[in-house]
A and B are shown apart, each in its own frame.
Chain A
Amino acid sequence: MDFALSNEQRDWQMTARKFADEDIRPISLARDAIPTAPETFDWEIVKKGSKLGFRTLAVPKEFGGHGTDFVTQALVMTELARADSAISKTFSQNWKWSHLISHACTEEQKARFLKPFVEDDTFLLGKGISEPSAGSDNRLPPADDPKAGLKLRAERQGNEWILNGEKCFIANAPVGKLFFIDARTDPAAPLKQGTTMFLVPRDTPGFRIGKVFNKSGWRFYQNGEMIFENARVPHANVVGEVNGGARKAGGGGDDTTGGDIFGDLELCANALGICDDASQTALRYARTTKQGGRYLFEQQIVQLQINKMHMLTEALRSFVLRVAWEHDMKVRSPNAGLAMNYSTDVVQEVTELYMDVRGSDGCAMDHHADKLVRDSIIWSHLAGDTVQRMKVARRLPS
């Protein structure tokens, strides 16, 4: 057992902490308070973070990225999320799909897409899976209903595919330049045998972004609708094989695409940042705020609440770093999924405790506490929390 970080890991952690403290935290609450969704976004922070390496952290070095390991990625996501969870997610969403490009795309595709991604500070990535009538069905396709799941249709015409349909609740849709799109290429086959993944650039003819969703939490992190009206995508943009669907993309193993392995780690590492922020702020607040002539921290209840916040946060940290280490060691286990589910429970409990420690001051609630609670609720609304838990249970070794 060795819990020590390498110098490189420590360096990235410190760079992220500095960027988070000096650049992200000062804009976090102001961005959260902007009422309309698109205006919450700030390209300046994206460009600044990109120049420091936080957009391309997960791209292999041979393609001009930073080729960091999973432990480093977890540390950086946590540090950025400590200042603003939604801004951290805006950066790490690119790591998720750059992992997928490196794992699932051909050399020709990598040269065509990874190179411009690395070079452009405003190049963001996304992936479209969910549709209005297909959310959980894409995650846990029902055995007795083979037609269930996404409906976006792709039909071959010569060297092109014609895409028709829509996606909704797609992260980075309003700001991304390149998207992975899951489309039905064999409507008669069940989801896994009838789906193909396409690389769809923003300027594809017939493809546009619809509504930008206005969320109660994670407000900076953009989310929108995608509309395909005879969108023309070259055959060269097919990822993996036609009708190869999600299976092919990960390069082995059911349900363990590069995206998924990283995605679980991403969510629990990000939640850890919120927990760090909440528990440290609560402690500082309780030690510096007086009530009835005495510091809040002198009250037993407050000590118990703060103990619980730190206890849960440290347990989550152990779990997050173990999962990151397992990924680096190429240990296959359902732990990433379990850690993600655990982080949902922990981040919501810790932020509710934080709000309780602060309490309402007269008739106002602290904006920071309110934001952390709203951000943490998002974990229950991502990709179907209950579905994710059942999926992880099914991954457990018999």
Chain B
Amino acid sequence: MYSLHLSAEQLEIRDTVREFVTHEVRPVMLKADRLDACDRTLPLALLDKISQLGLRTLTLAEEDGGAGADQLTACIVTEELAAGDADIAATLAETSRLAKIVFGRGMTKPQRDRLLPLFAGNERCQLAFARHEADADDRLGANYHRPLAPGNDIKTTAVRSGNEWIVNGVKDCVANAPLAGLFAAAVKVPGRHGTSIIAVPADAPGVSIRAHDHAWRHGTCGEVSFKDCRVPADNLLSEEAAGLLDSDQTSGHGSALMQAVALGVGRAAYEAALDYAKLRVQGGRPIAEHQAIGTKLAEIAVKLEVVRGAVWQAAWAADHPDAYADRSLADLPLQTIAQVFTAQAMLEAAKDSAEIFGAMGVMRDMPMQKYVHDARVCLHSGDSSREAKLRIAEALTGYRRTAPAAVAAE
């Protein structure tokens, strides 16, 4: 049944997070060292408080000690956090996204009993997906409607040795790497088809992490090297988890949490602009009362509402995959669709909001330039809109990509 009513729990968690952001995140975020886009350090003390609130384990099942939040609830929380600080929101979004898959469908009971305490029992443990490798280029681009060029397979390997896997390889641009206590590492297992995922604790022997400074990403990211890294044989996750993790951000049906980050950034910019436009007097009246500014505020509000609708729909669809089967939802990559619209609309919203502040909108010790920068990072990091549109187009025509290995075998 179509309903936009949030549950009592969802409303409560939204209010709680909003209040926390107002009283705890904003005062920290509005300090000059957080506003300067060129030199930011993540406030770890805030992450600790957020962890104590239970937001780090938001999507973990209740029986595992989490809040059991669905994708929609996680999007609502992420928007609220991002309205305070995009880096904090992105850090938790990545952990939430991964926790749901890794500890949800990814593990057998014995695996969970052994690995869950590493995450649930350590307040500072974030999760990271170590997939990308520096020399691999798996962008669609030139391969639109064509099989991917061979040679872009994952090169990191996991080789069985007795009761252990020995992992070797280097991963790059891994979100959350500097804060991660546990990695889901994408590896090739000789003799196995496709990508396998192995859980690797950050303190396993042979793991080294190098943080990227000034990365064009929200949150933190870094390089992760595995050198003869040994983990127990039972750390191999299920094939289902491997498939879900690998396709989460490309299938069109995965988590829309990064879109919720962009939405939160746009909303923060809008709220600041609205407050200022009601206070600032020029032309004999508050500038909000001038048509030119009023219309700008209206356009920003339109974009925010349409974006929230698209993000919530994508999240709800991820929570209710049966809604495709019963024809409630069109068979479309709703998350990718939300991504393309959100990234562009929120950059426009942030730019328009900043413009309302005149010269103050570009000053590095004031918030508006940060919102513009943060919105632009959302548009141009990870998977670009150019790339995402190609994936939507392939979905529209029903194109199914054959794996490079299969092509080579033909």
Residue of A33, A216, A359 with most partner-chain B CB within 10 A = A216
A140: chain B residues within 8 A (beta carbon):
283
A381: chain B residues within 8 A (beta carbon):
354-355, 357-359, 361-362
B214: chain A residues within 8 A (beta carbon):
364
- Asked if residues B216 and A215 are in contact (CB atoms below 8 Å), the reply is no
Residue B381 at the A interface, CB < 8 A? yes
A318: chain B residues within 8 A (beta carbon):
none
- Asked if residues A360 and B216 are in contact (CB atoms below 8 Å), the reply is yes
Residue A142 at the B interface, CB < 8 A? yes
Residue of B38, B132, B284 with most partner-chain A CB within 10 A = B284
Residue A111 at the B interface, CB < 8 A? no
B385: chain A residues within 8 A (beta carbon):
356
Residue of A35, A130, A135, A362 with most partner-chain B CB within 10 A = A362
Residue A294 at the B interface, CB < 8 A? yes
A294: chain B residues within 8 A (beta carbon):
142
Q: Least Cβ distance of A167 to chain B in Å?
A: 12
Residue of B nearest to A293 (CB): B149
Interchain CA distance A176-B36 in the complex, whole Å: 27
Q: Within B346-388, which residues are at the interface with A (CB < 8 Å)?
A: 351, 354-355, 357-359, 361-365, 369, 372-373, 376, 380-382, 384-386
Q: Within B127-141, which residues are at the interface with A (CB < 8 Å)?
A: 132, 134, 137, 139, 141
Interchain CA distance A267-B217 in the complex, whole Å: 32
Q: Least Cβ distance of A386 to chain B in Å?
A: 5
Residue B155 at the A interface, CB < 8 A? no
- Asked if residues A135 and B358 are in contact (CB atoms below 8 Å), the reply is yes
Given A216-B37, A363-B215, decide whether A130 and B359 contact each other with a Cβ distance below 8 A.
yes
Interchain CA distance A158-B33 in the complex, whole Å: 49
B376: chain A residues within 8 A (beta carbon):
355, 373
Identify which of B212, B373, B384, B390 contacts A216 (C-beta below 8 A): B373
Residue B39 at the A interface, CB < 8 A? yes
Residue A299 at the B interface, CB < 8 A? yes
Interchain CA distance A294-B141 in the complex, whole Å: 10
Number of interface residues of B (CB under 8 A): 52
Residue A62 at the B interface, CB < 8 A? no
Residue B25 at the A interface, CB < 8 A? no
Residue A331 at the B interface, CB < 8 A? no
A168: chain B residues within 8 A (beta carbon):
359
Residue B143 at the A interface, CB < 8 A? yes
- Asked if residues A359 and B380 are in contact (CB atoms below 8 Å), the reply is yes
A288: chain B residues within 8 A (beta carbon):
none
Identify which of B283, B355, B380 contacts A385 (C-beta below 8 A): B355
Interchain CA distance A355-B386 in the complex, whole Å: 12
Residue of A299, A363, A380, A390 with most partner-chain B CB within 10 A = A363
Interchain CA distance A381-B390 in the complex, whole Å: 35
Chain B, residues 202-230, CB within 8 Å of chain A (1/0): the string is 00000000001011110001000000000
- Asked if residues B381 and A363 are in contact (CB atoms below 8 Å), the reply is yes
B221: chain A residues within 8 A (beta carbon):
363
Given A142-B283, A356-B380, decide whether A214 and B361 contact each other with a Cβ distance below 8 A.
no
Residue A301 at the B interface, CB < 8 A? yes
Residue of A nearest to B175 (CB): A363
Q: Within A196-219, which residues are at the interface with B (CB < 8 Å)?
A: 213-217
Interchain CA distance A33-B141 in the complex, whole Å: 31
A215: chain B residues within 8 A (beta carbon):
362-364
Identify which of B132, B282, B354, B380 contacts A365 (C-beta below 8 A): B380
Q: Least Cβ distance of A291 to chain B in Å?
A: 5
Residue B172 at the A interface, CB < 8 A? yes
Residue A144 at the B interface, CB < 8 A? yes
- Asked if residues B386 and A356 are in contact (CB atoms below 8 Å), the reply is yes
Residue of B nearest to A34 (CB): B38
Residue B292 at the A interface, CB < 8 A? yes
Identify which of B36, B132, B365, B384 contacts A356 (C-beta below 8 A): B384
Residue A108 at the B interface, CB < 8 A? no
Q: Within B89-146, which residues are at the interface with A (CB < 8 Å)?
A: 132, 134, 137, 139, 141-144
- Asked if residues A216 and B369 are in contact (CB atoms below 8 Å), the reply is yes
Residue B55 at the A interface, CB < 8 A? no
Residue of A nearest to B216 (CB): A365
Residue A252 at the B interface, CB < 8 A? no
Interchain CA distance A301-B233 in the complex, whole Å: 46
Identify which of B216, B284, B358 contacts A364 (C-beta below 8 A): B216
B216: chain A residues within 8 A (beta carbon):
360, 363-365
- Asked if residues A299 and B141 are in contact (CB atoms below 8 Å), the reply is yes
Q: Least Cβ distance of A36 to chain B in Å?
A: 10
- Asked if residues B293 and A355 are in contact (CB atoms below 8 Å), the reply is no
A377: chain B residues within 8 A (beta carbon):
351, 354, 362, 372
Interchain CA distance A134-B141 in the complex, whole Å: 50
Q: Least Cβ distance of B147 to chain A in Å?
A: 11
Residue of B nearest to A386 (CB): B292
Residue B173 at the A interface, CB < 8 A? yes
Q: Least Cβ distance of B130 to chain A in Å?
A: 13
Identify which of B36, B282, B382 contacts A136 (C-beta below 8 A): B282
- Asked if residues B283 and A360 are in contact (CB atoms below 8 Å), the reply is no
A142: chain B residues within 8 A (beta carbon):
282-284
Q: Least Cβ distance of A144 to chain B in Å?
A: 5
- Asked if residues A292 and B359 are in contact (CB atoms below 8 Å), the reply is no
Residue A42 at the B interface, CB < 8 A? no
Interchain CA distance A216-B364 in the complex, whole Å: 6
Q: Least Cβ distance of B338 to chain A in Å?
A: 19
Residue A120 at the B interface, CB < 8 A? no
A356: chain B residues within 8 A (beta carbon):
380, 384-386
Chain A, residues 330-372, CB within 8 Å of chain B (1/0): the string is 0000000000000000000000000110011011110000000
**B-side interface residues toward A, CB under 8 Å?**
36-39, 132, 134, 137, 139, 141-144, 148-149, 172-173, 212, 214-217, 221, 281-284, 287, 292-293, 296, 351, 354-355, 357-359, 361-365, 369, 372-373, 376, 380-382, 384-386, 390
For this complex, 23 residue pairs linking A to B, each with C-beta atoms less than 8 Å apart, are A35-B38, A130-B359, A140-B283, A142-B284, A148-B282, A216-B364, A216-B372, A217-B362, A291-B139, A292-B142, A301-B386, A356-B384, A360-B216, A360-B380, A360-B381, A363-B172, A363-B215, A377-B354, A381-B361, A385-B355, A386-B296, A386-B355, A390-B292
Given contacts A292-B143, A356-B380, A363-B216, 12 further A-B contacts (CB under 8 A): A136-B287, A144-B284, A145-B284, A213-B359, A292-B139, A293-B149, A355-B376, A355-B380, A363-B173, A377-B351, A377-B354, A381-B354
Kindly list the 4 A-B residue pairs having the minimum CB-CB distance in the complex, ordered from nearest.
Answer: A145-B284, A292-B142, A363-B173, A365-B216
